[in-house]
A and B are shown apart, each in its own frame.
Chain A
Amino acid sequence: MWTYLRRRIVSSAIPLVVVILGVFALARLTGNPANLYLPLNATDQMREDFAARNGFNDPLLVQMGNYVGGVFRLDFGTSLRTGEDAAAMALRAFPATLQLAGVTMFLAIILAVLVGSWAALKPNGIADRVSSFISMAAASIPDFWLAIVGIFVFAITLGWLPTSGVASGASWVLPIATLLLRPFGVLVQIVRGAMVSSLSEPYIKLAKSKGASSSRVVFRHALRNAAAPALTVAGDLAVGLVNGAVVVETIFGWPGIGKLMIDSILQRDFAVLQAAVLITAISIFTLNILIDLGYALLDPRVRPAGSIRKRRVHAQAIA
């Protein structure tokens, strides 16, 4: 298992390195970084001072060394808007996004497992139609528009929910519902597909014929084996969730990292943007490793030898 994990860590670290170097290259290769960091109406004197102060006159390699060192110390410079440490701002916004994404993924997985299994049990039944409709909606409806329709219906017309903010529990409903659509739409199809194929396996017939209850057959036997494909897309979904979070946070005024990014773009605050982007990249990297770990625990072929006993218990449960 460790060989497997080590290989996965190396292969998911490569994108991280590319992102770190890519941000550096983008900021340097487009000409004078002062154009990025300073306001458009900065004087030449300001630009020169800025370049001297931040070491932009050093050779490129020295700059890159300083930059990479700064990334490891989470030192991205100070914000142009507030004069605050850019990394501190990004880290402060990060938990809000993490909460939003965490709750959304949790709900998406639970709902997708329930609806997907139900849909797989009765092809062309109600749940199957609902799940294929939602998948279609997830692939077609722009999330920002869904959010606005939600605000229009539930906040403005009906007045049930607040339009933005994080003041109360009710303010969580619309952001989560908007963010939920896409991962749920993808996951429910994957759970359904995996369940359809795992329900046609011989061991399901065996479990049924020995008299196991249908809920036990579904959740204990079929779902266990259908979980792995769902987990493999979890990484892609998390990447997509970042896209959604940027939009949803902007609309609902959620003080997370997505809103921070858009705000710093609109006010041309490159240091904060850079910090936010790199912290997001690092967290995606961490998440991918966690997913690989989960996969290793779930799939017996990459499981460590020590857990053979557990597998034997599982085998007895089936027999």
Chain B
Amino acid sequence: MPKPLPEPQLPPGGRAIAPLDTQTLSVVESVPTKSIPLYRLLLKDRFATAAAIVLSLVILTAVFGPMLVGDLATKQDLSATNRPPFSGADGWQFILGSDSLGRSMLARLIVATRTTLSVAVPAVTVALLLGSLWGLWAGYHRGWRETISMRIGDIIMSFPSLLLAVVVLFVFDPSIANIILILALTRIPIYLRTARAESAELQSRTFVDAARTFGTKPSTIIRRHVVPVVMPTMLTLATLEFCYVMLAESSLSFLGIGIQPPDVSWGLMVAQGRQYLQTAWWLSLLPGLAIVITTVAANVLAAWLRIATDPAQRWRLTLPRKKLIARIPVKETH
């Protein structure tokens, strides 16, 4: 802990301990913790490692890629239109082929990575923050605040998200900010429901009860005792939601009401390549493949995170894979 605590901190286990002086603290810290660091666990799972590498590559591409390719994504070369991919004869910029205006597919895919992520990441972050805080608040206070919050969530969920986006983006401009807002709005209930359930469950735990008895403010209890316990679940959910939001943005862009040209996103590239399907399949199949690879990676990582952040299931990851299957005949998915 970087700063001194104003009140005795209760461990998440729920057992109150006497205030520690600095000496005991250092002793406690010197005892090696039994839990393995998360990245070591990650390296033990081949699939999760691969997924993490893929996602890191995608993020690196989004951050640094556009700088590397410069204006290659918009530079037209009418002498090199619709070049097939993987031929290698036309230089590295056409390794993934070129489109009907002779623009490099590789460069366009790289630039589209940034656009796609610059919608998906803020949308997930906004929904995660608002939804979690709202859910924690509703679950902490219970009663009418909880009921009203859940009703609002139900209302948003009972309406097809694409329709909502369609109406809103019809009335307002389909700018990147509006797409982010509408995607965040339609996904807030997911976090709201989960955070509410977890937070409500925590209210009956001893350490929350104890903090309340000591007269701690609700905001402090939520920040110090509820958030750390709920956080792993919410992060796992956010990883999973990243897939959904990316797919939703792609669908909107594909339908022509998301990202607008001259900006380019993966979904928009699939739409633009559709009319050339007979002559240049790579124009719409490659961007779609980029979407699939990213979402599969996020899905695999989310599945791993769900187990890795759950203390009751974490031991499974420390076993060799063969034994794992033998020991758990029935895998519970829920």
Contact = CB atoms under 8 A, between A and B. Distances in A.
Contact of A152 (B158, B160, B251, B277): B277
Contacts of B172: 30
Contact of A142 (B170, B251, B277): B251
Interface in A281-301: 281, 284, 288
B247 interface: yes
Given A36-B171, A142-B251, A144-B254, A246 B166 contact: yes
A79 interface: no
Contacts of A140: 243, 292, 295-296, 299
Contacts of B157: 236, 239
Tier of interface size on chain B: 35 or more
A199 B159 CA distance: 35
A144 B167 contact: no
B151 interface: yes
Q: Is the interface of B mostly helix, strand, loop or mixed?
A: helix
Interface stretch (B129-137, B199-207, B278-286): B278-286
A281 B156 CA distance: 12
A15 interface: yes
Given A144-B267, A149-B288, A261 B295 contact: no
Interface stretch (A19-27, A65-73, A105-113, A169-177): A19-27
B25 to A, nearest CB: 45
A12 B288 contact: no
Interface stretch (B61-69, B78-86, B120-128, B325-333): B325-333
B154 A247 contact: no
B296 A265 contact: no
B158 A265 contact: no
B155 interface: yes
A123 B329 CA distance: 7
Interface string B157-179: 11111110011101110000000
A160 to B, nearest CB: 15
A114 to B, nearest CB: 18
A130 interface: no
A93 to B, nearest CB: 14
A18 B332 contact: no
Nearest to B284: A148
B73 to A, nearest CB: 21
Contacts of A46: none
B245 interface: no
Nearest to A141: B292
Given A27-B171, A261-B166, A145 B284 contact: yes
Interface in A130-145: 132, 136, 139-145
Contacts of B285: 145, 148-149, 152
A270 B256 CA distance: 16
A132 B296 CA distance: 13
Contact of A242 (B154, B162, B251, B299): B162
B151 A14 contact: yes
A277 interface: yes
Contact of B288 (A30, A145, A266, A280): A145
A196 B330 contact: yes
A277 B167 contact: yes
A277 B166 CA distance: 9
A194 B47 CA distance: 27
A193 B167 contact: no
Contact of B270 (A23, A132, A144, A265): A144
Nearest to B331: A123
A250 interface: yes
B254 to A, nearest CB: 5
A95 interface: no
13 contacts: A14-B151, A23-B167, A123-B329, A123-B331, A124-B325, A142-B254, A144-B250, A144-B288, A148-B285, A151-B277, A236-B157, A265-B170, A280-B163
**9 nearest interchain CB pairs?**
A145-B288, A140-B295, A242-B160, A243-B162, A15-B158, A15-B155, A140-B296, A144-B254, A26-B171
